[in-house]
Structure 1
Amino acid sequence: MEFIDTHQHLILRDRLGYGWTAQIPALATGDFGLADYHALVAGRGITGTVFMETGVDDADYRAEARLVAGLIGAGGMLGQIASCRPGEAGFAGWMDEAAGLGTVGFRRILHVVPDDVSQTAAFRADLRAIGRAGLSFDMCFLARQLGLARDLARACDDQVLVLDHCGVPDIAGGAFDTWAAGITALADLPHVVCKLSGITAYCAPGTATVALLRQWVDHVLASFGPDRVLWGGDWPVVNLGSGLPGWIDMSRELLAGLSEAERFAVAQGTARRVYRLG
């Protein structure tokens, strides 16, 4: 099983600001660059990557995309999901520029802004512009916000939307039922797909195992179906859970019961379709 990693972050502190890492000791210092990533995945079946915007400081989000554009094509990087600010001045101009930067989709992290940001008419109008351009939008919501995600998806029903990190379930707290209901409701919308990523970081420290994750992953697969699930590594944030090599190994085990075609869909087929990777 060879994976396309659709959620590859980089932290390059000498060029960009990452204020969000300051309170996370494992990520607060040092760089996390391409050489580090490739050393971790060597021989582990990563056949390509898609860079995911890393939540840089607001002043730097365009600089990040411009910097990453120069890395695409090297070391298996197939494209980037660039940060954007739907509903804010200058959005259309940024979309036009980003089209020339190897952009295969956009994201705005929505759990770090007020809940009503994604509910405004201006935000949704700009989101639909992304869809008209044939690009996907990655939705980053917490489990408590899955209703907001569904409202947004219903308002933008003619484009592909990707729910990152399985909707950020509270695995450590065992809060399965409410999260599962939200996932089921979102999966009823055929233009929404789910990214299998990040979830080991939501386990209590040192507890992430295949046995613990099984019911959460199985619910995602049963709700969306493998053709609407894609895989991501979420490095280096995954270091807060299993680490990237551990997550790759767990993913193989968690997907082992699927058919060959279904495993291919999750590992890379859905990603190729959603992000137009060929």
Structure 2
Amino acid sequence: MSFAQPAVSRRFALAALGGFSLMAACAPVPEVAAPEPVVGGVPLSQIVEGYGLIEDEGYRLPPVSPQYLQGVNRRVLMRYPGELRPGTIEIDPNAKFLYWIMPDGMAWRYSIGVGIEGVGLRGTTIIQRKAKWPGWTPTANMLRRDPALYGPFRGGVPGGLASPLGARALYLYRNGSDTYYRIHGTNDLESIGNSGSAGCIRLFNHDMIHLYDLVPNSTRVVIRTYADSVRIEGSAMANRGIELAPYLITPEQLFNGEEGGRADELASVSGRG
């Protein structure tokens, strides 16, 4: 025997189903977080102030990765700790600092990399030429010292993103003659705070642009001695940094925007010790 389902029960069931449907329709949909924007390989939230994307003279400089800006490796406006007069650049090749000294007792301090040419810089020189996005040609001494490294570039590298002198260069003279020493930008970010087998006094391109706009021609550039570095910066800071192996890159890699590598890393990869 069958019994008809009470109408009230059917109405209750339909009402209940309708309620569940309405609740489901009104429930909030979980939001899916949008991926963080990345600028030049650096997540937007990790870009360090002063080291972001730069559009300059028709070139685009990507942000500096924060891994290269740790500790003292970023520029800072600070009380000048030395004894030189305002309007002077003081370079400490041991602590890997460059100071631009200002009239109020303050100074901009930049972290630098010091190549083998920069290690030989002594005494006082004068900035007698400034250039934006300069080209580069290895000197005769470079070609004699390491023909394998510099020989492929004996014809020079035009100014631009590929140039080893980076975005800016300050040319140092003594007694009216070019010393062939330079303060310049670099694409070799790892070299900042360290010693290298090539180059003079190098800064992050971002720092070099900042310094370039502050410093006029005829500025004195004084090299701090090791003894003064220990006295002013302390022994640990006066010995900071490591010596890096040469960075090897072919002209084809350079002009195609490809990467080379350190000589010791390449030897390890290829099995050569």
Bucket of the pairwise TM-score, normalised by the shorter protein: under 0.3
| Structure-2-length-normalised TM-score | 0.22
Q: Answer with 1 or 2: which has the greater Rg.
A: 2
